[in-house]
Amino acid sequence: MTGSSYKTEVLVLGIGNLLWADEGFGVRAIEAFHRHYENHPDLRLLDGGTLGHYLINEVMDAKRILLFDCCDLKAEPGTLKLLRDDDIKIWSTTKISAHQTGMNDVLATASLLGYEPQAFSVIAIQPLELNDYGASLTDAVKAKIPEAIDLAVDELKRWGYELKLRQSPLVDDNFVLSTLSIDRYEQERPSEEQAPRDGDPRYRLRSL
């Protein structure tokens, strides 16, 4: 793919599933990034959620990609790492969730179509909990969001993009649906009786 084919200088992408605790790290990280830093004309920020192959065009349009996600780093929960070059294999070979498998498939498909980014980095965190339906991030992971944002800003600076802090963080900026913003999501979580923590009881396997 030639340089003229890229429509986006940098795609800053958060992927994950907000409904399953630490699986939502990538989405919460990109949400926090947007709240704290001013828009940059060369950056496209995207909540990729669990869109999987629907992200193929966004990926192939980007000259460089910076990705937030959880990953099995074989480390203590809350361990945060910046992966690039050969270290990307740590993330790409991890199969801890369906959304990650979907993203790996997107990148593989893009590669087969001739796509090759000029730079690709992953800010990855070791999750603690992936099986608490409707939960927010665990304390171990949530506490690392500011550090993850700092890593992203430093990596973007290394690529030649300077970012500016907002004078004050945005509130209810509609980057994510207001009902899914982290504060409201945590405050309005139903009780365990109203919302079972291991999924919808109508779809659980029943013993014979």
pLDDT in tens, 21-48: 999 999 999 999 999 999 999 999 999 8
Q: What single-letter amino acid sits at 176?
A: V
SS (H, E, C) the chain: CCHHHCCEEEEEEEECCCCEHHHHHHHHHHHHHHHHECCCCCEEEEEEECCHHHHHHHHHCEEEEEEEEECCCCCCCCCEEEEEHHHHHHHHCCCCCHHHHHHHHHHHHHHHCCCCCCEEEEEEECCCCCCCECECCCHHHHCCHHHHHHHHHHHHHHCCCCCCECCCCCCCCCCCCHHHCHHHHHHCCCCCCCCCCCCCHHHCCCCC
pLDDT in tens, 142-201: 999 999 999 999 999 999 999 999 998 887 666 666 567 777 776 766 677 666 666 656
Element (H, E) at 105: helix 98-112
Q: How far apart are CA 154 and CA 64, in angstroms?
A: 15
pLDDT band for position 87 (cuts 50, 70, 90):
confident
Residue 2: the pLDDT is 45
Residue 178: the pLDDT is 59
| Residue 117 token pair | 């980014």
| Domains recognised in the chain with CATH numbers | 3-203 (3.40.50.1450)
Residue 124: the pLDDT is 94
Residue 1 pLDDT greater than 60, yes or no: no
